[in-house]
Amino acid sequence: MGMTTKTRINKKITAISVLIAILFVSSIVGTVIHYNEVVTQKNSQIASLTNQVSNRNCEISILNGEISNLSSQLNYFVPNITAAVGVAEISGSSSHNMSPQPYDHLWITGSVTNKGRNTAYSAGLHVVAYAANGIIEINQTFPLVNALTNSVGIFGADNATITYASSLGGSTLNSFQLGSLGAAQTADVAFAIYHEGIVTKWTVTPVWTNSP
C-alpha cells in the first residue's frame, strides 16, 4: 500500500529538520573553531606584548641605574655640606651661664663638612626655632666663619638680642655675612643664638650655593 500524502509530508518535514539541525551544528562548530583561532592569536599577541613590556622594564631599570650613577658622580663634584650638630635651649638663669642673662639662647655645637669636590659658597646653618605656642622665635641663616676661626659665635635673633649679643662681643648686623667652606673641609661649630621667649623645637639645615 502506497504512502499517504500526510506520511510523505511528515517525512519531508523530518528530512528538512535533520538538514537544519546539521546546518546549525555545523555553524556552531565553525563558529567555535573560528573563535578558538582568534583566542589563540590574541593569546599569542598578549604573550608577545608581555615580553616586550618585560624587555622595556629591563631597559628602564638599566637606565635608572645609569642615572643614579651619574647623579652620584655629579654629587661628588659639586659642594655637599652635611652637619652633625647638637642643639640645646639654655635658660638665661641656667648655671651654664657665667652669670644670669636677660635672654635664653639656643646653643649649637658640632661640625659641618663639605663632602663635595668644590667650594661651597655662602655656607651657613639655617636655624628655625619655635616657641611652644608655635610662634617662630628664630628664622635666620648663621655663618660658619666664626667656627672657622675657632671662636664661639654669639648671635641675636632680632634687634634687641643682636644688641645684647654685641655687648658680649658677639654679633652685629654685619656679622651675618656668610663665608665659604672648601672642598673636603670640616668646620667645628659652636655658637649661641640669643632670642626672645622660650623655644621648644627647632630645625638646623646646612645651606650653601655652588657659585659665589
Q: For residue range 61-113, list pLDDT tens digits in order.
A: 888 877 777 766 666 678 999 999 999 999 999 988 888 999 999 999 999 99
Query: 132 by DSSP, 3-state: which?
Result: coil
Inter-residue contact 129 to 136 (CB < 8 Å): yes
CA angle (190, 192, 196) in 5-degree steps: 160
Q: What is the pLDDT of residue 104?
A: 96
As a CATH number, domain 81-209 is: 2.60.40
CA distance 111 to 199: 22
Q: With a threshold of 0.75, does the pTM exceed it?
A: no
Query: 1 by DSSP, 3-state: which?
Result: coil
Among 199, 175, 176, 206, smallest CA distance to 105 is for 199
Average pLDDT over the chain reads 82
Of residues 51 and 180, more confidently modeled: 180
pLDDT single digits (tens) 55-65: 888 888 888 87
Query: 153 by DSSP, 3-state: which?
Result: strand
